[in-house]
Amino acid sequence: MKQENFNAILTHFKIILDDIALIDLSLLTKMKKIYAISGKHTQNKTLLVVFSFTKSKVLLKNAQNLEKIFFDIKEHSKTTYNESIFFHQALICSKAKNYLNSKEITTYALV
């Protein structure tokens, strides 16, 4: 996916990032249609953003896998992330949303 597409989505949600870098997830997950980027927010925070363009509903087990992806990225990165954001195209069950929010991962629906 192209960086312009990520910028368009982020701008729609009023999130402005500079120095956007695409993160390779091939070693962390076999999930298709999932992308991760990082960038500097205008408030001088570093954000980790994961996009999921799958069509199947995000369930609790998916949320636990996503939380592991966020954890692995943070663990293997030299960057300290101030905020984690998850954009999802599919519906998300309330348990999955509450789980991610409890892990300090903000969720946004692209529906």
Contacts of 46 (CB under 8 A, 6+ apart): 38, 39, 40, 79, 80, 81, 82, 83
Share of the chain above pLDDT 70, in %: 96
Question: What local confidence, expressed as pLDDT, does residue 2 receive?
Answer: 66
- Residue ranges covered by each domain of the chain: 3-109
**Residue 61 to residue 65: CA distance in whole angstroms:** 6
Global pTM value: 0.89
pLDDT in tens, 53-92: 988 899 999 999 999 999 999 998 888 999 999 999 999 9
User: What are residue 85's phi and psi, to 5 degrees?
Assistant: -130, 140
CATH code matching the domain that covers 3-109, chosen among 3.40.50.10300, 3.40.1350.10, 3.40.50.11540, 3.30.1330.50: 3.40.1350.10
**Residue 94 to residue 62: CA distance in whole angstroms:** 12
